[in-house]
Structure 1
Amino acid sequence: MAARKLRPYFQAHTIKVLTDQPLRQVLHKPDTSGRLVKWAVELSEFDIRYMPRPAIKAQVLADFVAECSIPQQIAEPEIAQAPAAKGATTAGEPAEDGARAGTIPLPPVEHDPSIAEALWEVHVDGSSNKAGCGAGLVLTGPDGFALDYALRFGFRASNNEAEYEALLAGMNLAVQTGAQRLKAYCDSQLVANQIQGIYEARDERMIKYLSQVRQLSSKFRSFEVVRIPRTDNTKADVLSKLAASGYTTLGNICMEFLQASSIERKAAEIMQVEHEPCWMDEIVDYLRSGKLPEANRSAQGDPKSSPFFT
Structure 2
Amino acid sequence: MKIQHLEVISNSLLMVNQINGEYATKDAMMVAYLEVTRKLIKEFKEFKIDQVPRNLNTKADALENLGSNINLEKFGAIPLVHVLSPAIEKESTLNVYEIQLESTGKEEGSWTKPLTEYLLSKTVPTGKVAA
Q: TM-score, normalised by structure 1?
A: 0.24
Amino acid in structure 1 at the alignment position of 2:7: K
The percentage of aligned residue pairs carrying the same residue is 34
1:264 maps to: 86
* Structure 2, gaps ≥5 residues long: 71-79, 93-131
1:52 maps to: none
Shift of the 230–265 alpha-carbon distance from structure 1 to 2, 3 Å rule, reads same
1:233 maps to: 57
Shift of the 180–225 alpha-carbon distance from structure 1 to 2, 3 Å rule, reads same
Shift of the 209–238 alpha-carbon distance from structure 1 to 2, 3 Å rule, reads farther
1:68 maps to: none
Amino acid in structure 1 at the alignment position of 2:24: E
CA distance in 2: counterparts of 1:183 and 1:213, whole angstroms: 14
2:13 maps to which of 189, 192, 198: 189
Q: Secondary structure of 2:6's partner?
A: strand
Matches within 5 A, 1:78-117: none
CA distance in 1: counterparts of 2:3 and 2:60, whole angstroms: 20
Between structure 1 and structure 2, the one with the greater Rg is: 1
| 8 Å contact from structure 1 (residues 180, 222) kept in 2 | yes
Structure with greater contact order relative to length (CA < 8 Å, sep ≥ 6):
2
1:221 maps to which of 40, 45, 50: 45
Shift of the 265–222 alpha-carbon distance from structure 1 to 2, 3 Å rule, reads same
Matches within 5 A, 1:141-180: 178-180=2-4
Deviation at residue 207 of structure 1 after TM alignment: 0.8
2:27 maps to: 203
CA distance in 2: counterparts of 1:220 and 1:258, whole angstroms: 31
Amino acid in structure 1 at the alignment position of 2:87: R
1:17 maps to: none
Deviation at residue 258 of structure 1 after TM alignment: 5.3
CA distance in 2: counterparts of 1:233 and 1:179, whole angstroms: 26
Shift of the 208–258 alpha-carbon distance from structure 1 to 2, 3 Å rule, reads farther
Shift of the 268–246 alpha-carbon distance from structure 1 to 2, 3 Å rule, reads farther
Matches within 5 A, 1:248-259: 259=82
| 8 Å contact from structure 2 (residues 33, 88) kept in 1 | no
Deviation at residue 210 of structure 1 after TM alignment: 1.1
Shift of the 264–228 alpha-carbon distance from structure 1 to 2, 3 Å rule, reads same
Which structure features the higher share of strand residues?
1
Deviation at residue 196 of structure 1 after TM alignment: 0.7
Deviation at residue 221 of structure 1 after TM alignment: 1.3
Deviation at residue 202 of structure 1 after TM alignment: 0.6
* Structure 1, gaps ≥5 residues long: 1-176, 248-256, 271-310
Shift of the 184–269 alpha-carbon distance from structure 1 to 2, 3 Å rule, reads closer
Shift of the 268–185 alpha-carbon distance from structure 1 to 2, 3 Å rule, reads closer
Shift of the 197–242 alpha-carbon distance from structure 1 to 2, 3 Å rule, reads same
Q: TM-score, normalised by structure 2?
A: 0.51
Q: CA RMSD in A?
A: 3.0
Shift of the 178–242 alpha-carbon distance from structure 1 to 2, 3 Å rule, reads farther
